[in-house]
């Protein structure tokens, strides 16, 4: 059974998974939650106790009512294998792989076999930690628990019972769902120490060549063993007559000085510079100093020793073999009697696990369980996995039996017994008579298997804070916008490993990236093409069947990945996850844009990217750089679908212009549809608060489908600009400043109307003149609606990225050699042709970034453009090379709706911005050193709450060395305070005024007013006190906060926020409504820690 074909199982698992998902219920965030199908393996699996390592076993494999369910050492027996069958709600039956008519059930509080249709045969799975579950009797707080905390052979055979949640949670009721065999894979080219299996000799010294004549375990000398490919040596150490010797049992029949054996090892390592050797001592020496001196006295030995304690392996993990070779630390020494600090010897127990040493006299004891009852083979530490020593030899060594235990039998036990029992590949396989059987081939085979464990194959998932999910949200409050639907899926928890597809074809591991796509870390080769192919394959093979509970996954390897081209991520429901965001030990993506990616058109003064001169094709289908606004980036979440009218132009375009046409299916001039006036008011298709949008008679109503994303854009008009007090008419533009993405609730083909899923937040005139305005320019400009091709469900997790600006070609000749110190608090563009972003979300929905670190990006580390229900959580963004003209270096939310920005940290950026109609977003619990910037373009109804913003003195537009200025091109006098608000007269240069009801509540805001001086509270907005706190609603009328009111001084609209940051906007109807107070700590959340 354990040698079955896994491809068949995968098909079964997929079918079962679909059934289970269909029958699942919504989980309660913040609590251990019922799994949507047991998420690690769908079956058959062994259920293995986390605390003691023993497996759930049907007593004697006898299928009968009332047969005991026991804990037992794992032996790959069918009585230890269980299938899952969906029952009612979120519960499942555990069906025996011996006879599927029998399930694990209850007789009172005892676990027994029962017919599956009987009562008390269903269970619920509560995930309490990554890949660990409590197994609960439905409708109760009773949990399946092991009878003992200890494992090993002395504790097997006890009957499982029910216990309390507390008993279960402490460990006796925590269970792994463990697959029945290791899985084949292509091993990495540069593995970590714990990713390799080494051939190891049991009692390596006990051989006739080294002076041991009787009951030998090996035939060749230790020196020969090493020469033959052995890399692990097990030695028994004794003291006799003041000497430290290698002896087996008694030194009377044979001994050899330990120093002699150690000299053999050092001599071998000095000759074989790539070899890594490990010594395991069964240590009976009582004089610890004398034993330590043996190692000190061997010349060259201490220089070779790798001490895992000194190298902080517990926190950093095991090193790669290349690192050990580079440092010439290629000898590990373990003792079962504890540390010998000055010799670099460490105790075995913290660093290794080991199975029971004997196969028995007859070689039939293939059960694999820990040699030490208190330490299961599955033991792990948070940041590293102990090395697994697998013993494969009999109680009495015999050369006649060794061929039956070695070779293929060694592979069989490692892959089907001990690997699953330990949930990891063995790192050392220890045998007798290593020369008997093809053991080097066997070890090579074992090296091509691994245990598919969530924590490794799926990479560690950054936990989403339960604090932020819909279960902890307050919902709509009277008089305020409803922010309860902000973020991923309107408040759902971000996906975890449970929501990753069970289909191996939709999970690309680091090893598969290496083998199939050529993406390998630290090799200095360009990984762009390989990573793009991996994404394209996922899109082709998996996106069609993917979903929110069936996400594909690309696991990036640890180490440096080199990228030179923008990576298009247009595969929906795809998670791109690294091995950690620590640049030193995690996944580090280094972006060096090549000639086809960096901008080749700059303005005449060389200060910024010139979109207008970046063209492709010819009129009337000429594309411009503005079509790829907000600009190129490292990763771009966006469809690449080309509108049919541009298909030929895309084919003809050169490599550095093709992306201008990509996504053109979503450009309103290509796919947008005009509107007709409503019956109630022919000048408007709909008014603010309405949901029904009538289409022009020529519009294709068939393109709109319920559930689809739809873009709605209201044409600018002169009256709309006048509302913003923008008097510079030469700045008026025919655009859609007021816009938003909705979902289609319904379509009436007869009436030719589309009903939106939520009310409009602005009036929707038929065109720029239908509200009674004169045209802007020569003719009326239409409002439009457009069905969107959105990319959905893309997540970035657990990696860091940077843009390298060392030795890259400069636009005017020569090269750039920039360092971060040059860019710190420098609000200019140091290399405008490289003003590329990090993560770009355009025409994207229900997507996220969490646990990502950005250091020195070209411009914005994260930027949005026409996006909805995004979530940015727990990211660290530090620095940009360009923070000047053109609006660079922001954490930028443009044309983004219903999104959540929570618990992020930013340093050395220009602003955090909302702009261009961004609305209903929540900025919660962040730590910024740049301003909360309402940047203009009718952004509205956004919430800023419980943030800490401390703005240094140097954070000001005039602190600049090159290509200075802002989005409008000007360099402002003065300094930036923690809040910035776009006045119409100023912001019309690039967009327009900020809109109504942008809300600030309980933020800690401070500004450093002099160089090196103290930080001063930004009052009245920035120092929450005790008791009910004001709710500051910017851009809001005194009588109705939902009505727009431009900020004023002395009854006149301010022309610019700069210079008026400290003015009183609370008295009278001056634009900031503070009439409301809130007693609780949050407008957004029910409970705040």
pLDDT in tens, 66-93: 999 999 999 999 899 998 887 887 888 9
Query: Is pLDDT of 36 > 50?
Result: no
Please state, in angstroms and as integers, the Cα–Cα distance from residue 160 to each residue in 62, 147, 296, 977, 994, following that order: 16, 6, 51, 64, 64
In this structure, are 410 and 509 located in the same domain?
A: no
Quick one: 392 and 439 in the same domain? yes
Shared-domain flag, residues 518 and 481: yes
CA 649 to chain centre: 37
Give per-residue pLDDT as tens, 806-853.
Answer: 999 999 899 999 999 999 999 999 999 999 999 999 999 999 999 999
pLDDT at 673: 96
758-776 average pLDDT score: 97
Residues 893 and 1027 in one domain: yes
Is 80 exceeded by the pLDDT of residue 43? no
Share above pLDDT 90 across residues of the chain, in percent, rounded to a whole number: 80
Residue 467: per-residue pLDDT: 81
In a domain, 637, yes or no: no
Segment 971-981 shows an average pLDDT of 86
Among residues 415, 431, 455, the one where a domain terminates is 455
Q: What angle do CA 978, 984, 989 make, to 5 degrees?
A: 95
Residues 784 and 796 reside in one and the same domain: no
Distance (Å, rounded) from C-alpha 476 to C-alpha 457? 41
DSSP letter for 22, please: H
Beta carbons of 845 and 823 less than 8 angstroms apart: no
Cis peptide before 494 (omega within 30 of 0): no
pLDDT of residue 131: 75
Q: Residue 248: what pLDDT?
A: 92
pLDDT tens, position by position, 114-140: 999 999 999 998 888 777 899 999 999
pLDDT of residue 449: 84
> Is the Cβ–Cβ distance between 1031 and 483 less than 8 Å?
no
Q: What pLDDT sits at residue 466?
A: 73
Judge whether 187 lies within some domain.
no
Tell me: pLDDT of 1 over 50: no
Residues 191-199 have a mean pLDDT of 95
pLDDT at 140: 93
How confident is the model at residue 968, as a pLDDT?
60
Are residues 348 and 412 both part of a single domain? yes
Taking only the tens place, the pLDDT of each residue in 1011-1042 is 888 889 999 998 777 789 999 999 999 999 99
Instruction: State the Cα–Cα distance between residues 948 and 1000, nearest whole angstrom.
Output: 12
Quick one: pLDDT at residue 380? 87
Write out the H or E segment, with its range, that includes residue 407.
Answer: none
Asked whether residue 585 falls in the same domain as residue 678, the answer is no
Instruction: Kindly state whether residues 201 and 119 are assigned to the same domain.
Output: no
Backbone angles phi, psi at 529, to 5 degrees: -65, -40
Tell whether 448 and 547 lie within a shared domain.
Answer: no
Asked if the structure places residue 238 within a domain, the reply is yes
| Residue 1017, C-beta contacts closer than 8 angstroms, at least 6 positions apart | 1005, 1006, 1023
Task: Give the end of a domain, one of 180, 212, 247.
Answer: 180
pLDDT in tens, 211-268: 999 999 999 999 999 999 999 999 999 999 999 999 998 898 899 999 999 999 999 9
Shared-domain flag, residues 54 and 136: yes
- The answer to the question of residue 822 being in a domain is yes
CA atoms within 13 A on the CB side of 1079: 0
The total domain count for the chain is 4
Q: Contact at 8 Å (CB) between 508 and 534? A: yes
80 within some domain: yes
The answer, yes or no, to whether residue 658 has pLDDT greater than 60, is yes
Q: Do the Cβ atoms of 607 and 674 come closer than 8 Å?
A: no
* Residue with tokens 């050395």, as numbered in its chain: 908
Q: Are residues 268 and 342 in the same domain?
A: yes
**pLDDT tens-digit map of 768-814:** 999 999 999 999 999 999 999 999 999 999 999 999 999 999 998 99
The CATH number that applies at residue 1035 is: 2.160.20.10
pLDDT digits (tens, 9 = 90+) for 449-464: 888 654 333 444 444 4
Give the C-alpha separation, 646 to 321, whole Å. Answer: 52
Average pLDDT over residues 622-636: 96
Section 193-208 average pLDDT: 97
Q: Could you read off the pLDDT of 343-356 as tens digits, one per residue?
A: 999 999 999 999 99
The predicted structure's pLDDT at residue 819: 94
Distance in angstroms (rounded) separating the CA atoms of residues 889 and 857: 8
- What distance lies between CA 794 and its chain's CA centroid? 11
Query: Using CB atoms within 10 A of its CB, is residue 815 exposed (0-12), middle (13-18) or buried (19+)?
Result: exposed
**Cα separation of 151 and 49, whole Å?**
9
Domain CATH for 81: 2.80.10.50
**β-bridge partners, 239:** 244
Give the length of the chain: 1089
Question: Which pLDDT score, from 0 to 100, does residue 186 have?
Answer: 60
Residue 407's domain is classified under what CATH number? 3.20.20.190
Q: What is the mean pLDDT of residues 610-625?
A: 92
At 185, is the pLDDT very low, low, confident or very high (cuts 50, 70, 90)?
low
Express each pLDDT in 1046-1084 by its tens digit: 999 999 999 999 999 999 999 999 999 999 999 988 999
Per-residue pLDDT at 619: 85
Digit-coded pLDDT (tens) for 503-557: 989 999 998 999 999 999 999 999 999 999 999 999 999 999 999 999 999 999 9
CB 547 within 8 A of CB 580: no
Could you tell me if residue 407 is inside a domain? Answer: yes
- Cα angle value 595/797/492 (rounded, 5°): 130
612 assigned to some structural domain: no
753, 788, 823: which is the final residue of a domain? 788
User: By percentage, how much of the chain surpasses pLDDT 70?
Assistant: 94
Domain presence at residue 603:
no
In terms of residue numbers, what domain contains 163?
A: 6-180
**Dihedral, CA atoms, 341, 344, 345, 351, nearest 10 degrees?**
100
The rounded mean pLDDT for the chain is 91
- 437, 318: one domain: yes
Rounded to whole angstroms, what are the CA distances from 65 to 101, 323, 361? 11, 57, 36
Output the pLDDT for position 564: 98
């Amino acid at each position: 059974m354990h040698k079955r074909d896994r491809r068949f199982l995968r098909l079964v698992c997929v079918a079962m998974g679909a059934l289970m998902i269909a029958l699942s219920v919504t989980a309660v965030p913040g609590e251990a939650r019922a799994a949507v199908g047991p998420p690690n393996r769908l079956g058959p699996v062994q259920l293995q106790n986390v605390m003691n390592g023993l497996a759930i076993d049907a007593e004697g494999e006898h299928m009968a009512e009332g047969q005991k369910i026991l804990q037992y050492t794992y032996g790959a027996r069918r009585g230890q294998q269980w299938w899952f069958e969906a029952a009612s709600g979120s519960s499942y039956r555990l069906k025996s792989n011996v006879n599927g008519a029998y399930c694990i059930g209850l007789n009172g509080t005892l676990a027994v076999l029962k017919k599956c249709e009987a009562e008390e045969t269903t269970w619920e799975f509560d995930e309490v930690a990554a890949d660990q579950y409590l197994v609960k009797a439905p409708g109760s707080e009773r949990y399946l628990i092991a009878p003992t905390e200890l494992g090993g052979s002395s504790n097997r055979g006890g009957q499982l019972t029910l216990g309390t949640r507390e008993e279960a949670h402490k460990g006796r009721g925590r269970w792994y769902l463990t697959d029945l065999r290791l899985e084949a894979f292509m091993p990495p080219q540069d593995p970590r120490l714990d990713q390799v299996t080494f051939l190891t000799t049991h009692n390596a010294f006990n051989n006739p060549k080294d002076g041991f004549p009787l009951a030998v375990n090996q035939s060749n000398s230790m020196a020969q063993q090493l020469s033959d490919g052995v890399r692990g040596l097990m030695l028994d150490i004794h003291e006799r007559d003041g000497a430290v010797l290698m002896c087996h049992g008694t030194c009377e029949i044979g001994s050899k000085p330990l120093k002699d054996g150690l000299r053999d090892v050092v001599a071998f390592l000095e000759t074989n510079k790539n070899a890594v050797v490990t010594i395991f001592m069964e240590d009976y020496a009582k004089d610890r100093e004398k034993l330590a001196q043996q190692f000190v006295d061997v010349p060259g030995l201490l220089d070779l020793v790798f001490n895992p304690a000194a190298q902080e392996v517990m926190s950093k993990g095991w090193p790669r073999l290349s690192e050990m070779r580079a440092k010439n630390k290629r000898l590990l020494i373990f003792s079962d009697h504890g540390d010998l600090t000055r010799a670099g010897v460490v105790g075995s127990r913290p660093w290794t696990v080991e199975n029971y040493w004997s196969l028995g006299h007859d070689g039939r004891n293939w059960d694999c369980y820990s040699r030490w009852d208190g330490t299961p083979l599955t033991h792990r530490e948070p940041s590293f996995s102990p090395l697994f020593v697998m013993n494969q030899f009999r109680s009495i060594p015999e050369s006649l039996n060794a061929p039956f235990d070695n070779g293929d039998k060694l592979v069989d036990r490692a892959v089907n017994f001990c690997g699953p029992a330990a949930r990891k590949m063995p790192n050392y396989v220890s045998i007798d008579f290593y020369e008997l059987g093809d053991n080097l081939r066997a070890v090579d085979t074992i090296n091509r298997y691994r245990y598919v464990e969530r924590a490794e194959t799926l990479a560690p998932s950054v936990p989403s804070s339960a604090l932020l999910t819909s279960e902890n949200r307050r919902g709509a409050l009277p008089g305020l916008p409803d922010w309860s639907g902000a973020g991923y899926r309107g408040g759902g928890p971000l996906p975890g490993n449970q929501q990753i597809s069970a289909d191996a074809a939709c999970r690309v591991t680091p090893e598969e990236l290496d083998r199939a796509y050529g993406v390998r870390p630290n090799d200095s080769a360009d990984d762009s093409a390989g990573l793009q192919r991996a994404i394209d394959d996922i899109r082709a093979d998996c996106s069609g069947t993917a979903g929110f509970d069936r996400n594909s996954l690309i696991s990036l390897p640890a180490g440096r990945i080199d990228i030179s081209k923008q990576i298009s991520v247009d595969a929906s429901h795809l998670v791109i996850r690294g091995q950690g965001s620590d640049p030193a030990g995690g996944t580090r993506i280094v972006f060096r844009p090549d000639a086809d990616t960096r901008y080749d058109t700059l303005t005449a003064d060389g200060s910024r990217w010139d979109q207008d001169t970046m063209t492709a094709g010819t009129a009337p289908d000429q594309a411009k750089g503005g079509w790829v606004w907000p600009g190129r980036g490292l990763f771009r979440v966006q469809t690449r679908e080309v509108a049919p009218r541009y298909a030929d132009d895309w084919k003809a375009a050169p490599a550095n212009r093709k992306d201008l046409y990509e996504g053109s299916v979503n450009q309103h001039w290509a796919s947008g549809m005009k509107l007709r006036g409503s019956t109630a008011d022919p000048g408007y298709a709909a008014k603010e608060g309405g949901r029904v949008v009538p289409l022009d008679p020529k519009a294709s109503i068939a393109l709109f489908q319920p559930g689809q994303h739809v873009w709605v854009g209201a044409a600018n008009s002169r009256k709309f600009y006048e509302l913003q007090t923008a008097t510079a008419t030469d700045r008026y533009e025919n655009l859609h400043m007021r816009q938003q993405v909705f979902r289609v609730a319904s379509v009436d083909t007869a009436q030719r109307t589309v009903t939106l899923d939520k009310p409009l937040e602005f009036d929707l005139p038929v065109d720029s003149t239908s509200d009674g305005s004169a045209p802007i320019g020569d003719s009326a400009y239409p409002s439009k609606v457009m069905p969107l091709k959105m990319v959905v469900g893309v997540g970035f997790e657990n990696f860091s990225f940077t843009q390298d600006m060392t030795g890259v070609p400069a636009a005017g000749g020569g090269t750039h050699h920039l360092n971060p110190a040059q860019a710190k608090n420098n609000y200019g563009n140091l290399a405008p042709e490289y003003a590329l972003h990090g993560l770009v979300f355009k025409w994207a929905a229900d997507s996220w970034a969490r646990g990502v670190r950005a250091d020195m990006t070209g411009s914005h580390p994260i930027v949005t453009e026409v996006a909805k229900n995004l979530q940015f959580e727990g990211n660290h963004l530090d620095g940009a090379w360009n923070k000047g003209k053109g609006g660079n270096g922001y954490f930028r939310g443009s044309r983004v709706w219903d999104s959540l920005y929570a618990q992020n940290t930013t340093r050395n950026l220009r602003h955090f911005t909302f702009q261009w109609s961004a609305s209903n977003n929540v900025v919660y619990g962040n730590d910024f050193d740049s301003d909360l910037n309402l940047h203009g373009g009718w952004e509205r109804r956004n919430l800023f709450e419980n943030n800490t913003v401390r703005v240094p003195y140097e954070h000001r537009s005039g602190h600049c060395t090159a290509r200075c200025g802002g989005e409008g091109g000007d360099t402002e006098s003065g300094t930036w305070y923690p809040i910035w608000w776009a006045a119409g007269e100023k912001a019309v240069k690039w967009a327009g005024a900020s809109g109504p009801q942008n809300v600030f509540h309980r933020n800690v805001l401070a500004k450093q007013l002099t160089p090196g001086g103290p930080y001063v509270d930004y009052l009245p907005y920035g120092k929450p006190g005790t008791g009910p706190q004001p709710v500051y609603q910017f851009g809001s009328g005194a009588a109705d906060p939902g009505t727009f009111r431009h900020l004023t001084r002395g009854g006149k609209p301010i022309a610019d926020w700069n210079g008026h940051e400290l003015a009183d906007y609370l008295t009278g109807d001056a634009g900031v409504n503070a009439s409301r107070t809130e007693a609780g700590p949050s407008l957004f959340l029910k409970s705040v820690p």
